Amino acid sequence: MKHFYFHLLQILKAFLISLIIVLGLQFSYFYYMQHFVEKQAHQWLDIVLLDLLSEWNQQQFLAHSSHTLIQNITAEQRDSTQQLFEKLDELLQYGGSTGQIIEYGLFLQTTQIRYQAHAHFKHGIFFAIITLIADGEQWKIDQFYYEYAFYPQQKQQGSLRLI
């Protein structure tokens, strides 16, 4: 009987060690896939944003947008965004984007990643918060919030003066 319990404990010990190894491998794979997905989305977003900010095109923006965003955006919002980029004028510098995963689905059906991006234009600066969603095997813009500031038309005299 003593031999039976000893053998049972060895089997249980081997099972627990195997379980820990399998869970560790699954966690490592999950982390790797999450990192891979975020990197892929980040590259996609920077390419798309650089293209859009260089020359704003509503049709191109809508082609990269999710069905939810297309349904929620109004004609006035599209027109005001077009006018904004006309006033900002030429893109001088795209500062890139930074972001983080908000929600991660094992099969990418619910993955959401939120990014912040900024750019300098001839007549002002632009800051955007963009949420991407995985739509099948493609990334789509699900939310697009932005702020902007125009540079002053006339240079203002500062308090520092050359002596």
61 or 135, higher pLDDT: 61
Residue 61 structural domain: 37-150
pLDDT in tens, 51-88: 999 999 999 999 999 999 999 999 999 999 999 999 99
Of all residues in the chain, the percent with pLDDT exceeding 90 is: 50
- In the 3-class helix/strand/coil scheme, how is the chain assigned residue by residue? CHHHHHHHHHHHHHHHHHHHHHHHHHHHHHHHHHHHHHHHHHHHHHHHHHHHHHCCCHHHHHHCECHHHHHHCCHHHHHHHHHHHHHHCCEEEEEEEEEEEEECCCCCCCCEEEEEEEEEECCEEEEEEEEEEEECCEEEEEEEEEEEEECCCCCCCCCCCCC
- Is residue 11 domain-resident? no
Burial class (CB in 10 A: 0-12, 13-18, 19+), 58: middle
Q: How far apart are CA 105 and CA 102, in angstroms?
A: 10
Q: How far apart are CA 53 and CA 137, in angstroms?
A: 24
CATH at residue 50: 3.10.450.590
Give the global pTM: 0.73
**Is it the case that residue 43 has pLDDT exceeding 80?**
yes
- Is residue 13 domain-resident? no
Q: What is the pLDDT of residue 123?
A: 93
- Is residue 16 domain-resident? no
Tokens of 125: 């600066």
- Is residue 91 domain-resident? yes
Number of domains in the chain: 1
The model's confidence at residue 49, banded by pLDDT at 50, 70 and 90, is very high
Backbone angle region of 133, left / alpha / beta, with phi > 0 → left and psi within -120 to 50 → alpha: beta
**Is it the case that residue 29 has pLDDT exceeding 80?**
no
